[in-house]
Amino acid sequence: MKMTTVSDLRIAVICSSNMNRSMEAHAFLAKKGFLVQSYGTGDKVKIPGSAADKPNIYDFGVSYDEIYHDLLNKDKSLYTQNGLLHTLDRNRRIKSHPERFQETDEKFDILITCEERVYDQVVEFMETKTPIENSIVHVINLDIQDNLEEATIGAFLISDMCTKLAQTEDLDNDIEEVLHNFEEKCQRPILHSIVFN
């Protein structure tokens, strides 16, 4: 059954691995009825491993389900305890596998990044692309630490911001004001740039 959308805005939430922050926000925004997609910008999907210097690294094509089972086989208790299995279980119910932003052809109105480094990558990538649609894209960064608690708070903030952006009569006209108010309210530094699709 098709969900009713609250806004026509096409939103993408982007983090590094498309695992925690972006997926949390994806889930939150989708529930609210936004047209949302999520992506990562890294070379690989990196998730915590048994030690700090032993991360689990996967290609972007590998599905959440495969990762889930891989971790399950490696150390069920550890990954249950640190919440990774729960996260992966949630993710696989939203979409099949992590997606890399640089490889998508989808067009968006708003790109929300969860980390300054990701923001830089997104802006640089958009700059090197030849615009086809010529439509305006707003790239907004909201720094969110990569852990489960912060991801939840971040998703809430992103949802709040998107609601406000969706309420504007014309996004391009009013975004400066909305972001200014939002920054004051949430007391988090944000970045904003404009590129073309």
Q: Which residue has the tokens 């489960």?
A: 148
Interface residue with other proteins among 19, 23, 67, 144 (CB under 8 A) is 67
Interface residue with other proteins among 171, 178, 185, 187 (CB under 8 A) is 171
Dihedral (Cα; 138, 7, 172, 159), 10-degree rounding: -50
Buried b / exposed e over 15-38, threshold 16 CB at 10 Å, is bbbbbbbbbbbbbbbbebebbbbb
Q: Which stretch binds other proteins (CB under 8 A): 16-24, 52-60, 78-86, 150-158?
A: 52-60
Q: With contact defined as beta carbons under 8 Å apart, do 36 and 60 qualify?
A: no
- Listed as own residue / partner, the contacts of 186-190 with beta carbons closer than 8 Å and 24 or more positions apart are 186/157, 186/160, 188/142, 188/143, 188/157, 189/143, 190/140, 190/141, 190/142
Q: How many CA atoms lie within 13 A of 148 on its CB side?
A: 12
Q: Which stretch binds other proteins (CB under 8 A): 15-23, 28-36, 149-157, 173-181?
A: 173-181
Question: Other CB atoms closer than 10 Å to residue 41's CB: what's the count?
Answer: 23
Q: Does 118 bind other proteins (CB under 8 A)?
A: no
Interface residue with other proteins among 6, 35, 78, 195 (CB under 8 A) is 195
Distance (Å, whole) CA 113 – CA 110? 10
Q: With contact defined as beta carbons under 8 Å apart, do 109 and 138 qualify?
A: yes
Interface residue with other proteins among 6, 32, 44, 156 (CB under 8 A) is 44
Contact pattern for other proteins over residues 134 through 153, marking x by CB under 8 A: xxx-----------------
Interface residue with other proteins among 124, 147, 167, 185 (CB under 8 A) is 124
Q: Does 10 bind other proteins (CB under 8 A)?
A: no
Q: Six-digit token pair at 103?
A: 């490889």
Interface residue with other proteins among 17, 20, 91, 102 (CB under 8 A) is 102
Q: Does 89 bind other proteins (CB under 8 A)?
A: no
Size of the site for other proteins (CB under 8 A): 45
Q: Which residue ranges make up the site for other proteins (CB under 8 A)?
A: 43-44, 49, 54, 56-62, 66-67, 70, 100, 102-103, 119-120, 123-124, 127-128, 130, 133-136, 170-173, 175-176, 179-180, 183, 189-196
